[in-house]
Amino acid sequence: MPLSAASLVKPTHKAIIAYYDALKVYRSYNANHEGAVETAFMGLLRDTGKQHGWALIPKQMMQVGGKTIYPTVPMMQSTSSIW
């Protein structure tokens, strides 16, 4: 589903500011690894997705091409997956 220009998140959005604040905290502990960034990004997706009726379902198992995968942060709306 395409997003309208009115629904885009601005750099001053509370969730964007919280994302960068989280990265600063992690950086102060020298936590620059993927897990730290992933955690901050999941929070950003969770908080911004709410305004579109999306829910973050971390690491939900999915079958793709006969293989089981665990996407880090699939976003769900009703019964369809949005990546």
* Res 22 pLDDT > 60: yes
Does residue 4 fall inside a structural domain? Answer: no
Whether 2 is covered by a domain: the verdict is no
Assess if residue 53 is contained within a domain: yes
Q: Which of 8-12, 60-64, 70-74 has the lowest mean pLDDT?
A: 70-74
Q: How confident is the model at residue 53 (pLDDT cuts 50, 70, 90)?
A: confident
pLDDT above 90: residue 52: no
pLDDT at 4: 56
- What is d(CA 3, CA 6) in angstroms, rounded to the nearest whole number? 8
Q: Is residue 29 part of a domain?
A: yes
Report the predicted TM-score, pTM, of the whole model to 2 decimal places. 0.70
Whether 3 maps to a domain, the answer reads no
Beta carbons of 58 and 73 less than 8 angstroms apart? yes
Q: Domain count of the chain?
A: 1
How would you classify residue 60: left for phi > 0, otherwise alpha for psi between -120 and 50, otherwise beta? beta
2 band by pLDDT with thresholds 50, 70 and 90: low
Find tokens 């690894």 and name the residue. Answer: 33
Residue 1 lies in a domain: no
Please give the residue range of the domain that contains residue 41: 10-82
